[in-house]
C-alpha cells in the first residue's frame, strides 16, 4: 500500500451482536459519505488498532470507497467546512416571507409578540424589486420561497398577491419557482389548500400538532383560549380525502413539538393518524421544544438532550410499527446548516426588516442588532452583508467549539448557530441515538423490522 491512509474522524460504530447473538459483525456509519456498511470483527480490530496494512485489499477498497479510511494528509474538518462554504455560496435565491404579523394562536412556548398588522403595499413592492435584483445577479435556476409567520394564512389576500407576483418574476428571469408554508392549519380549508397547491405553487406544508386532543389544546390554543385540535384535524382529513391528493407526493409534514409536558400524548396522536389510514398521505416528524427567547414554559418543561433522544427513537419505532414511513433513519450529509449561512437566503418581515435567520422577527432578540441585514426599503448599499451568523463555518474552525471534534459534524453542520450564540446546546437528537438509528437503517435495508417490532 504505497499511499498511506488513516481512520476517518467522522465515524460511528455499533456491534450487531447486541441485537442478534448470532451476528459477529460491526456496523460502521460514515457521516461524510452517509453510508452504512458491515465489517467483520477482525477488520474492526485492525481499524481501531491502526493496523490498516493488514486489512485484505478487497475489504480495504470498500473502506476507502465509503470514507471509512482517508488519505493520511487530508485535513478532514477543513475539507468538510470548505465543501459547506461552497454550498453556502450557491446560486439559487431563497426567501422567507411574512404576509402578516398576526396569529390566532397563543401557544404556550411561542416567543413572538404578534400584532394585528399585515404587510403593506410599499413593502411588497420593495420585496418584488429586491427579488428581481437578486435573481438578475444569480446564476441559479430556482427561486425558493418559504411562507412563515406569525401565521401566513392570516392574510391570504397578501399571500395570494405576493405569490402571483413572485411566480411572475421567477418566470421573467427564467428560473423555476418552488414554495413551502409553515402554517397552524386552522384556516387551511380544502379549497384554500387546492388553490395554494395548484395555483400558487406551494407544494410543501408543515403543520404542527402537539399530541392528542387534550395535550394539543392545552398548548396550542387560540389567543382567547379556545381549542384548535378538532378544526385542524377536520381540515387535514378533508384535504387528504380528495382523490387528487394522492398525486401530490406527500405534501404535508406533521411536526410534533415535544417536551416533558406532552411526551406521553404523542402515542395517541400516532394511533389516531393510523386509524384514519394516513400512513401514505402524511409524513410525521418529531422536534424538541426550543426557545425563541427566554421562555419560562420551555425552561419549566425542558428535557435533557439525552432524554429527548430516547423519546425520539421510541416514537420513531412506534410510528414504524403503525406503518408510517421515514425516508431514512440515518442523517444525511448536510452541506448547508441552515439559511443563516447562505448568502443568497434572506428573511423579510412585514416591516421590511431583513435577517439571515427567521427566529428574529417580533422577538426583540438580543442578537438582532449584529445580525440585521437592513431594510428592504433602503438602497442595498446600506445593507450589512456580514451578519454574525453568516460566519458560522469560520467560527467552527477558528474557535474549535464543540462541533469541531464531533463525529457527526458532516451530518448537522453545527445544527443551529443562533442557539450556540445564545449559550444553548442545540445538538440534534441523532447525536445521542445514532447507534439505534444505525440499527434501524440496517433492519430497513434488510427488510427485517418484524424481528425488532414483535
3-state secondary structure 48-114: HHCCHHHCCHHHHHHHHHCCCEEECCCCHHHHHHHHHHHHHCCCCEEEEEECECCCCECCCCCCCCC
Q: Is 138 helix (H, G, I), strand (E, B) or coil?
A: coil
pLDDT of residue 68: 98
pLDDT of residue 74: 96
C-alpha cell at 432: 445521542
Q: Which of 70-84, 149-163, 252-266, 313-327 has the lowest mean pLDDT?
A: 313-327
Residue 33 has pLDDT above 90, yes or no: yes
User: What is d(CA 213, CA 220) in angstroms, rounded to the nearest whole number?
Assistant: 10
Q: Could you tell me the pLDDT band of residue 454, with boundaries at 50, 70 and 90?
A: low
Residue 450 has pLDDT above 80, yes or no: no
User: What is d(CA 135, CA 201) in angstroms, rounded to the nearest whole number?
Assistant: 18
Mean pLDDT of 197-221: 98
Mean pLDDT of 410-432: 94
CATH architecture label of 92-454: Alpha-Beta Barrel (3.20)
Q: Is 4 helix (H, G, I), strand (E, B) or coil?
A: coil
Residue 452 has pLDDT above 90, yes or no: no
Q: Could you tell me the pLDDT band of residue 3, with boundaries at 50, 70 and 90?
A: confident
Cβ neighbours of residue 273 closer than 8 Å, sequence gap 6 or more? 254, 279, 282, 284, 322, 324
State the CB neighbour count (10 A cutoff) for residue 242.
13
pLDDT digits (tens, 9 = 90+) for 210-253: 999 999 999 999 999 999 999 999 999 999 999 999 999 889 99
Q: Is 35 helix (H, G, I), strand (E, B) or coil?
A: strand
Mean pLDDT of 166-192: 99
Per 3-state DSSP, the chain is made up of helix, strand and coil in percentages (nearest 5) of 45, 15, 40
Mean pLDDT of 119-143: 98
In percent, the amount of the chain with pLDDT more than 90 equals 87
Mean pLDDT of 257-283: 96
Mean pLDDT of 412-425: 93
- Whole-prediction pTM: 0.94
Mean pLDDT of 84-104: 94
pLDDT of residue 444: 86
pLDDT of residue 453: 67
The tally of CA atoms less than 13 A away on the side-chain side of residue 164 is 8
Residue 2 has pLDDT above 80, yes or no: no
pLDDT digits (tens, 9 = 90+) for 353-408: 999 999 999 988 889 999 999 999 999 999 999 999 999 999 999 999 999 999 99
Residue 445 has pLDDT above 90, yes or no: no
User: What is d(CA 5, CA 32) in angstroms, rounded to the nearest whole number?
Assistant: 16
Whether omega for the bond prior to residue 150 falls within 30 degrees of 0, making it cis, is: yes
Q: Which residue has the higher pLDDT, 17 or 268?
A: 268
Residue that is written with C-alpha cell 440534534 in the block: 428
The domain locations on the chain are 1-74, 92-454
pLDDT of residue 20: 78
Mean pLDDT of 413-432: 94
Residue 293 has pLDDT above 70, yes or no: no
pLDDT of residue 292: 66
Residue 298 has pLDDT above 60, yes or no: no
Residue 337 has pLDDT above 70, yes or no: yes
Q: Could you tell me the pLDDT band of residue 201, with boundaries at 50, 70 and 90?
A: very high
pLDDT of residue 331: 96
Q: Which residue has the higher pLDDT, 193 or 18?
A: 193
pLDDT of residue 325: 86
pLDDT of residue 19: 81
Residue 97 has pLDDT above 70, yes or no: yes
pLDDT of residue 451: 65
User: What is d(CA 90, CA 330) in angstroms, rounded to the nearest whole number?
Assistant: 25
Amino acid at each position: 500500500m504505497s499511499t498511506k491512509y488513516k481512520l476517518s474522524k467522522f465515524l460511528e460504530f455499533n456491534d450487531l451482536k447486541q441485537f442478534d447473538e448470532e451476528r459477529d459483525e460491526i456496523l460502521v456509519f460514515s457521516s461524510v459519505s452517509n453510508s452504512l456498511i458491515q465489517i467483520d470483527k477482525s477488520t474492526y480490530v485492525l481499524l481501531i488498532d491502526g493496523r490498516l496494512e493488514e486489512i485484505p485489499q478487497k475489504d480495504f477498497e470498500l473502506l476507502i470507497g465509503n470514507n471509512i479510511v482517508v488519505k493520511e494528509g487530508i485535513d478532514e474538518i477543513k475539507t468538510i467546512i470548505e465543501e459547506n462554504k461552497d454550498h453556502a455560496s450557491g446560486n439559487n435565491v431563497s426567501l422567507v416571507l411574512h404576509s402578516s404579523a398576526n396569529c390566532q394562536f397563543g401557544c404556550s412556548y411561542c416567543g413572538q409578540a404578534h400584532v394585528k398588522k399585515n404587510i403593506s403595499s410599499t413593502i411588497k413592492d420593495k420585496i418584488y424589486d429586491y427579488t428581481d435584483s437578486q435573481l438578475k445577479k444569480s446564476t441559479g435556476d430556482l427561486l425558493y420561497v418559504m411562507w412563515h409567520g406569525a401565521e401566513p394564512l392570516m392574510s391570504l389576500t397578501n399571500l395570494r398577491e405576493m405569490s402571483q407576483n413572485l411566480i411572475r418574476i421567477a418566470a421573467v428571469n427564467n428560473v423555476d419557482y418552488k414554495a413551502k408554508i409553515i402554517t397552524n392549519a386552522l384556516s387551511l380549508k380544502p379549497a384554500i389548500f387546492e388553490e395554494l397547491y395548484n395555483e400558487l405553487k406551494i407544494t410543501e406544508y408543515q403543520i404542527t400538532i402537539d399530541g392528542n386532543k387534550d395535550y394539543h389544546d392545552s398548548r396550542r390554543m387560540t389567543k382567547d383560549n379556545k381549542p384548535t385540535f378538532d378544526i385542524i384535524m377536520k381540515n387535514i382529513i378533508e384535504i387528504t380525502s380528495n382523490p387528487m391528493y394522492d398525486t401530490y407526493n406527500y405534501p404535508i409534514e406533521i411536526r410534533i413539538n415535544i417536551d416533558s409536558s406532552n411526551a406521553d400524548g404523542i402515542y395517541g396522536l400516532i394511533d389516531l393518524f393510523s386509524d384514519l389510514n394516513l400512513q401514505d398521505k402524511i409524513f410525521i416528524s418529531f422536534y424538541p421544544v426550543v426557545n425563541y427567547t427566554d421562555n419560562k414554559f420551555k425552561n419549566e418543561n425542558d428535557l435533557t438532550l439525552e432524554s429527548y433522544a430516547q423519546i425520539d427513537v421510541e416514537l420513531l419505532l412506534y410510528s414504524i410499527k403503525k406503518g408510517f414511513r421515514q425516508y431514512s433513519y440515518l442523517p444525511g450529509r448536510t452541506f448547508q446548516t441552515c439559511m443563516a449561512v447562505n448568502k443568497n437566503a434572506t428573511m423579510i418581515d412585514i416591516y421590511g426588516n431583513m435577517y439571515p435567520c427567521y427566529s428574529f422577527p417580533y422577538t426583540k432578540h438580543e442578537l438582532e442588532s449584529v445580525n440585521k441585514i437592513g431594510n428592504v426599503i433602503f438602497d442595498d448599499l446600506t445593507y450589512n452583508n456580514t451578519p454574525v451568523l453568516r460566519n458560522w463555518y469560520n467560527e467552527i474552525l477558528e474557535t474549535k467549539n464543540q462541533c469541531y471534534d464531533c463525529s457527526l459534524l458532516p451530518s448537522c453542520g453545527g445544527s443551529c448557530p443562533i442557539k450556540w450564540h445564545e449559550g444553548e446546546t442545540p445538538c440534534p437528537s441523532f447525536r445521542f441515538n445514532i447507534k439505534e438509528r444505525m440499527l434501524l437503517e440496517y433492519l430497513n435495508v434488510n427488510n427485517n423490522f418484524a424481528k425488532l417490532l414483535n
